Each structure stands twice: as structure tokens, then as C-alpha cells.
């Protein structure tokens, strides 16, 4: 019976991932968020052209690099959210509310980012003028709205009955971890130590908040990603957390495809939970490392020890789950067989 359900589940999932019908199904789920995702693909191409023809530099990086990254992120997030919402049944109005709100909010954020590039200034943490402050505050509000809509989508998935429990939990845990990754961005909005000292001294700051910790934004970084190579960078855990939206469902799908008689559904669910909790642990470790002002490319002994401990704990749990699965797969003698054995003795 479970094999039949798994086969039906995988067939349905592959149909959803079929590129020939994916766009049509996306429009059926929500036209506005689909159009937004497509618009971000076009925007991505346009910003790449901007990088080539416009050689201005803002905060140490090519002016059009930030909108390029946000265009990619927006398209991936929009289409992934649409795909997840396709599993929600019986809540059409709420699904439309989530999708429409996310599309409008993200679009406004992109308009601000591109507009600030055209003006030749930064979009994030910018309080240089009244206009800059208003635009950045508006972005913060709409990002919070997107985060709230993500939580609402998570609640819908938690309440939704999906035929295969492994894949169902991968959707739920993936979107919840993504919400945690989004929340890391709120740490970036806090004033740095130097900014706090300047504020206490009565100074007027044009920048409040930062991506980097222990160093100023715009210093040496990993190409394109821009993550600092000389200090902490909160964009790293933010990135890792956001993409749990894709990674965890992928792992859930692969586990559901796994054909090992020794692993029952419950064991696969346990393995998925183990992966998700370890992913959360990795996210927490990256956040802790960044807040200590430590570069991702130069972890100290304490960070490496914490990472090794995390890997060790995960390995022990996986071994325990597989061992339990093997024990459960060993045929147990029936009551009659046990009684016959006693009589023979």
C-alpha cells in the first residue's frame, strides 16, 4: 500500500516539475506572482547588461550587482512559493492573498533598489537624506510583510494533509527554516558598535546598520556574492536560511524516492527531521560566527570545534535511526513459534 502511495506521490511531483506545464500551472495558482517571477528573469538580464555598460561602483561593488542578485533571489523565491502553494487545497482566497501580497511587496522593494542605483546611491541602511530614509524604511516594512506571508503559508502547509508524510514534512520544515533565515536580516538593521558610539556622541549618521560585523561594508569579499573575507557577514546565514526553501524539499523528495526496504516511512521522516534540525544548527553556527566578526573563510578553532560537534551529533543520530530500522526489519517469531520453541526445550 505504501509503495502505491509513494509511486502516486512521485508521479504527481514530477508532473508539477514538468517545465512544459509548469508555467501554465503557475498562472493557474496565481497570475500576479507568476508575472513577478517572469519579470525578475527579465530584470536579471537587464541588470547584467547594466554591469557591463555601467562602470560605477557603489559601496565597493559594481552598481548593478545588488539588483542582479535580488532579481535572481526574487524569481527563485516567487516560483518556489507558487510551487509550495500548489499543495494547499481549499484556501484559494488565502493563497491568492499570500501570493499577491508577496508579489507587490517584492516588486516595490526591487523598484526602490533599482531606483537608488539609478540615483547612484545605496538602498539599504541609507539615511543620507529624508528621501533615502523614507525609501529604506518602506523597504523594511515590505520585507516584514513578505516574512509574515511566509509564516502564513507555513501554517497552511502545516494544516494541509498531503499523501506522503516525508515530502509533506519537507515542505513544512523547508518554509519554516526559510522564515528563520529571513529573520536573520533583522540583525543587519541594528546599529554597529561604531554607529552606536557616534549616535551617543550626538552625531548624525547617514548609514545605520550593516551587512558586515567588525568591518565596514564594501571591503574585500567573495566575488559576486560580496561576502566579507576579512570580517563577519550576516548575509551568509541569511542566504543559507533562505534557500532551505529549496534544499529541504529536495532532500524530502530524494528520501521519498529511496527504495530501501529496511527504511520505513517513520524512519525516513526521522531522517528528514534530523537533516532539518542539523540545517538549523548550521544556520545558528553561521550566525554566531558572523556576530563574532569572523570571516567565513577564516574560522577559528572554536568555530571548527562547534562544527565538528554538530557533524558528530548528526552522524550519531543517523546511525541510531538506521540501526533501529535494521532491528525492525529482522523477522520476529510468532507467538505459536515461541511456544513451540519453549516446548522443544
The answer to whether residue 39 scores a pLDDT higher than 50 is yes
Which has more confidence, 332 or 210? 210
| C-alpha cell belonging to residue 99 | 501570493
The DSSP output letter for 32 is H
Cβ atoms of 135 and 123 closer than 8 Å = yes
The answer to whether residue 259 scores a pLDDT higher than 70 is yes
When divided into structural domains, the chain yields a total of 1
φ and ψ at 135, to 5 degrees? -65, -40
Highest-scoring range by mean pLDDT, 150-159, 195-204, 319-328? 150-159
Domain carrying residue 8: 2-344
| pLDDT the model gives residue 339 | 52
| pLDDT the model gives residue 335 | 47
Cβ atoms of 177 and 283 closer than 8 Å = yes
| pLDDT the model gives residue 225 | 86
Give pLDDT tens digits for 296-306. Answer: 999 999 999 99
The answer to whether residue 7 scores a pLDDT higher than 70 is no
CA nearest neighbour of 214 among 238, 192, 198:
192
How far apart, in whole angstroms, are the C-alpha atoms of residue 236 and residue 284? 11
Cβ atoms of 183 and 151 closer than 8 Å = no
| Confidence band, pLDDT 50/70/90 cuts, at residue 290 | very high
Average pLDDT score over residue span 95-102: 97
Give pLDDT tens digits for 113-159. Answer: 999 999 999 999 999 999 999 999 999 999 999 999 999 999 999 99
How far apart, in whole angstroms, are the C-alpha atoms of residue 215 and residue 190? 15
Which residues touch 206 (CB under 8 Å, ≥6 apart)? 126, 127, 128
| pLDDT the model gives residue 144 | 96
How far apart, in whole angstroms, are the C-alpha atoms of residue 213 and residue 230? 10
| C-alpha cell belonging to residue 233 | 557577514
pTM of structure? 0.89
How far apart, in whole angstroms, are the C-alpha atoms of residue 295 and residue 307? 15
Sort 159 into a burial class: Cβ within 10 Å, 0-12 / 13-18 / 19+: exposed
| C-alpha cell belonging to residue 343 | 516446548
How far apart, in whole angstroms, are the C-alpha atoms of residue 233 and residue 108? 25
Average pLDDT score over residue span 49-69: 94
Amino acid at each position: 500500500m505504501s509503495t502505491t502511495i509513494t509511486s502516486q506521490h512521485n508521479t504527481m511531483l514530477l508532473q508539477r516539475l514538468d517545465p512544459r506545464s509548469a508555467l501554465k500551472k503557475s498562472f493557474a495558482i496565481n497570475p500576479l506572482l507568476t508575472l513577478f517571477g517572469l519579470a525578475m528573469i527579465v530584470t536579471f538580464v537587464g541588470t547584467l547588461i547594466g554591469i557591463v555598460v555601467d562602470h560605477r561602483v557603489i559601496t565597493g561593488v559594481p552598481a548593478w550587482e545588488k539588483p542582479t542578485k535580488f532579481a535572481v533571489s526574487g524569481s527563485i523565491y516567487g516560483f518556489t512559493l507558487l510551487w509550495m502553494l500548489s499543495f494547499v487545497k481549499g484556501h484559494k482566497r488565502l493563497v491568492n492573498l499570500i501570493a499577491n501580497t508577496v508579489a507587490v511587496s517584492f516588486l516595490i522593494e526591487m523598484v526602490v533598489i533599482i531606483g537608488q542605483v539609478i540615483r547612484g546611491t545605496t538602498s539599504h541602511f541609507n539615511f543620507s537624506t529624508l528621501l533615502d530614509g523614507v525609501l529604506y524604511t518602506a523597504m523594511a516594512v515590505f520585507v516584514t510583510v513578505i516574512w509574515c506571508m511566509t509564516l502564513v503559508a507555513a501554517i497552511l502547509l502545516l494544516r494541509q494533509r498531503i499523501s506522503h508524510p516525508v515530502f509533506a514534512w519537507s515542505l513544512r520544515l523547508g518554509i519554516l527554516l526559510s522564515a528563520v533565515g529571513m529573520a536573520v536580516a533583522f540583525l543587519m538593521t541594528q546599529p554597529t558598535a561604531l554607529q552606536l558610539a557616534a549616535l551617543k556622541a550626538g552625531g548624525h549618521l547617514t548609514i545605520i546598520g550593516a551587512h558586515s560585523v567588525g568591518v565596514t561594508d564594501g571591503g574585500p569579499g567573495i566575488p559576486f556574492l560580496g561576502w566579507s573575507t576579512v570580517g563577519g557577514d550576516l548575509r551568509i546565514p541569511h542566504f543559507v536560511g533562505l534557500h532551505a526553501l529549496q534544499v529541504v524539499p529536495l532532500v524530502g523528495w530524494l528520501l521519498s524516492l529511496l527504495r530501501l526496504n529496511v527504511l520505513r516511512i517513520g524512519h525516513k521522516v526521522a531522517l528528514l527531521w534530523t537533516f532539518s534540525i542539523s540545517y538549523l544548527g548550521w544556520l545558528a553556527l553561521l550566525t554566531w560566527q558572523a556576530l563574532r566578526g569572523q570571516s567565513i573563510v577564516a574560522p577559528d578553532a572554536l568555530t571548527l570545534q562547534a562544527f565538528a560537534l554538530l557533524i558528530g551529533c548528526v552522524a550519531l543520530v543517523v546511525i541510531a535511526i538506521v540501526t533501529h530500522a535494521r532491528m525492525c526489519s529482522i523477522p520476529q517469531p510468532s507467538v505459536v513459534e515461541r511456544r513451540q520453541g519453549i516446548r522443544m526445550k
